[in-house]
Amino acid sequence: MPIKSLFENAVFNWVLISSIVILMIITNGILALKTIEDLSSTQNSLYNTGDIIVELDDLHNLVLMAETGQRGYLLTEITEYLTPYQDALGRLCAQLNDTKKLRSEVPGQAKRIASLILLVEQKINELTKTVELALAEKEKSALKQVMTGRGRDLYKELRAELEQIKTLEINYRNSLFTVLSAVEREAKATFIISGITSALLLLGLAFFAKLNARSEAKHRLQLEQQNEMLAEKVAMRTKELTLYSDELSRSNRELEDFAFVASHDLQEPLRKIRAFGDRLRSNYGQLLDKTGADYINRMGNAAERMSNLINDLLEFSRISTRGKPFIAVSLQPVIESIIEDLEISIKESNASIVLGALPIINADPSQMHHLFINLISNAIKFRQPDIKPVVEIQYCQAEVAMEQWHIITVKDNGIGFEQEFADKIFVPFQRLHARAEYKGTGIGLAICRRIVERHGGKISARSELGHGTLFRIEIPVDNALINIIGDNLNAQQ
């Protein structure tokens, strides 16, 4: 049987076992939760009805204590009897507040408890009135009040209401005990069922484990053979990749050496062209007509553009190979120093730089300087006529795909461009305007993109013709690994 089929059978068996185990666990869990919930609900109801019975008994006892103290004082006129009366009366008020908070589960019990509380309050008023009359030395009036039988009648009504409430609560409690016994029997049955199913599951697991052990023994040899073949292929592929990596490193070194030599060899004739041009202009300028002077100026300008282009190309090629290790860089002083460097062009254009609070990031400080000086100088250069340029630099931190990113935006109110050219501006030598309109080599934004990509980020532009441009720079907060990989590549090269 092929290894794939054996593997699929083993996976199917374990999926079947896992499904059965999970199903049984869920079923047992649901039964256990239901039993626990029923037990908890029944016990809470028992606690509640028990509390109600105790509270009612306490209320009844306090009424009796207060009435006993009242009658003792009225019959003997001994003030010592007022002490238990007053104590019972004070506790009775607190007990009434507790009784008002009772919440019975028996239907109609709330109205009965409210009626009982009303009778108790009336009884308290009757006791208080007779004692006040006695204290005012109106014993006859007090005794007359007692002899009316109003207090006795109130007590009878109170006791009858109390007995009815207690009887209903006791009956309800007895029914709860019956329910509790049934729930306990269900819990025992549930636990027995869980034990039986657990034992069956263990037996099933043992059976399938034995089957899997037999099937594993059959295809283990095949897997080992396949592993040996794969190991040989991996070794061959690793060797090929190592050779390719060495070749790539050698090629990069040769390209860098070629770029350095080419830039040096190209700069030398350019320097001679500019030097001889300057000599012609200074020594023979008076002998040349306007056309000859224009030719010399054009030659000098072309040589200067060629020199700038060579320097930019060399810098573009060295972003990754000659970059410095990343360190903690505070962007605030970096951009403040750029503003000082661009002081003349800022004053000439009457530009305003709005600088928000900027972070400390893990980066190459010199490349950060180059990145932002390119963006800010472009914002000033590509300004609209007769409109004061405003450059806003803002920062925020955002989470994208469970990763934290530094988001830095550079926004201007310049000439802008059509959004369809948003990708073209980052390609070397791609210009949207004639060289006569705006100076430059057309490689500045390409360098910006290489710098941001070296830091593991990305740069994008959003613009509208005549309404300015917004450059968005996104750099991961944790780009230490990118720095280590880059350093290793540089070391190999």
pLDDT of residue 489: 43
Under DSSP, is residue 321 helix (H, G, I), strand (E, B) or coil? coil
Under DSSP, is residue 328 helix (H, G, I), strand (E, B) or coil? strand
pLDDT of residue 300: 78
Q: How confident is the model at residue 70 (pLDDT cuts 50, 70, 90)?
A: low
Q: Please check whether residue 65 lies inside any domain of the structure.
A: yes
Among the candidates 213, 245, 261, a domain finishes at 213
pLDDT of residue 461: 92
CATH number at residue 481: 3.30.565.10
Same domain, 201 and 56: yes
pLDDT tens digits for range 286-315: 777 888 878 888 887 777 777 766 776 666
Among the candidates 179, 213, 247, a domain finishes at 213
Q: Alpha helices of 77-108 — where are they, by DSSP H?
A: 82-100
Q: 421-424 long-range contacts, Cβ below 8 Å, gap at least 24?
A: 422/460, 422/461, 422/462, 422/463
Same domain, 202 and 328: no
Among the candidates 213, 243, 272, a domain finishes at 213
pLDDT tens digits for range 125-167: 777 777 666 666 655 555 555 555 566 777 777 788 878 888 8
Residue 471 clears pLDDT 90, i.e. is over it: yes
Domain count for the chain, please give it: 2
pLDDT of residue 429: 66
d(CA 28, CA 191): 9
pLDDT more than 70, % of the chain: 76
Range of the domain at 358: 323-492
d(CA 134, CA 115): 29
Enumerate residues 6+ apart whose C-beta is below 8 A from 327: 362, 363, 364, 365
Q: Please check whether residue 310 lies inside any domain of the structure.
A: no
d(CA 173, CA 39): 14
Paired tokens of 242: 């190592």
The backbone torsions φ and ψ at residue 457, rounded to the nearest 5 degrees and listed phi first, read -115, -165
Average pLDDT value for residue range 469-482: 82
Amino acid at 173: R
Residue 2 clears pLDDT 60, i.e. is over it: no
Q: Please check whether residue 28 lies inside any domain of the structure.
A: yes
